[in-house]
Structure 1
């Protein structure tokens, strides 16, 4: 007699035997490997003599706060802000929600409250800062002389410009009252321990969420150069702030914050390592291209397609069955009117580059569960995706030109919808060659 457990095992094996099931499994393994609930506890500092204040911002910050609550033995209080729908049921740490990727008044109110909580602390007190990707938009308080409305317009223009995350966060930092180490300055002389879930290529903690507790190494002139590079219009007041350096943090900030510590606890590499082990365990040779790949999504896709074709046609640099893995953050320069998402754009361009090549399947998802501003984490690509779309009267190239990868994969029923994962180490891509 077949038991319920045997039926469950058989169901799982059937799922993993299908290309789409196996690719979904790899994505799940990658996300689980960077779950803050697993990683935060091992990096918590000793309790201080005085108070412990928890602050934080980002799409993973609520889950990070929940992990602190579960494993902290002393008194605890604080405030973290996350994206709408990404909260967790904390009891001692207040979880607030705000707008992302475009800042809103709720995030501005949180930033003001957080600054207020940090004033008046002593050297006996401890601040635990929980920082993850998305924190720049969620914790937005414009520099003196800059309106909230203009800050939002600049942020939105940067999102559409094709600017890298490093460039965007440089601008955000120099137009803010809380970024670039300014929260840590407000907490001085209390010690600040910052735990970071990194969503940026290279894992520089000062770039994640524009480094609210980490001094900024760039200059206001760098931010102005970025705005000019992408032809983003700004007011005379904004230009004056950057040209005069009136919002520049004092040079003494580095000496003042020397006692503070920062630890990056979750990275894209950790997610790729977990997926690599899973691939090997299922008989596939993994090929990791990198954890910090940047560039236009459609161009990076063609590079991936060329590597897949080389493997299929020439058995180089590895032989199949195999899985090509990569992470990082691509960009999309928006020229059309479609519903995009950089992972959808990547996969649509990849599909065009592969042109129906047999036995090649792919997944591309954002580890936070949100591909850009859409409701999906990403999508799945099969050898017959383009043929199915054309049978529906859709033109893959026209949809790519319109930045409508979302529309392409929605029509096929191949969107991946996970909801918020409450972690965020950026994009995960896997190409399965059977």
Structure 2
């Protein structure tokens, strides 16, 4: 199947219209408008689509485009050489007087407005959009002039203009009055908002009410997920009522994304006990994300909110343990020095558990050793030995209990055998003290 070739036909009446506008000759203008060919699009057997448009389009073009220009339509005219020279000289002279092509078009349109209805010309359906034509030539003042004259904006026109943030101010005032399909535009703007694009003002303009917080929350989350997300847009969503209560499919909330992106202002705006305590599907808190992002400002801010930094993720890592696991010495020093947070590694946890229970076992061993020497008739220093072993047991017991009460001691449930071992050590110490008491009484009597 052949691809249709589009051709824009320039009518010979354009020369008469242009002359009338320059000389402000109403007779020429009216004659040109009356003789202007019908505006239509026709496709011939060779799949060539010939397009004829109202005068207003040609005034925006000013003169036929060169054959080598990359355009939607090839421009073909019936002008003779004399007409071509006339067009070139006219626009060359006007350019010297008015400094810009847009100023020339505005002048011609202003003069044409007295002789015809722009709205009827702009209502003609065509493959060529007058909005895209004005945008392509950067005739923004011309576009504003046509919108004021009633130019209807199709859905594609609106979407095309909104792609350029510098044109938002141009579109916004005409959304209520110049849309061809308001419902379709609202649906597309809502979809774009939910993709994180800043379409709040446009939707409020069309709907005349504040948007639902849930919609703004979805928009905020999507904006934060973009690789090119902007904190300024996120702050606008927050100002408009976003609460950051929605998480993505991985359970990752807006505040977690904000920390990952380094958006401290967004983190501060979303600072609440509820949001800071939320966990993703892997059990990570916002503090885990701050540590992963190596964001020291975020870490300081989060810890100053008195959150529970001992929460473990699904892999068993607290925020401190996560920093150690990542090998980030700078973050580990920050947690230890500025906030006094310190934890033992898994290896060191078992070492301290082993040490505490070894001390309890040693205390239990001292009792039978003391009894052995106490009942040995050959051993003479029973009093001294009993005093020394009881004192040693007391000191060891005190040291073991202090290790057990230390904040670094791991909160791991002990086996029943270790629990029995800890229970035997105070019994051993008690019997040692009783034996020492017996020795003291015997010595005194």
User: How would you bin the TM-score normalised by the shorter chain?
Assistant: under 0.3
Larger Rg: 2
Q: Which has more strand, going by share of residues? A: 1
Between the two structures, name the one with larger relative contact order (CA 8 Å, sep ≥ 6). 1
Q: TM-score, normalised by structure 1?
A: 0.23
TM-score (norm 2): 0.23
Which structure shows the higher helix fraction? 2
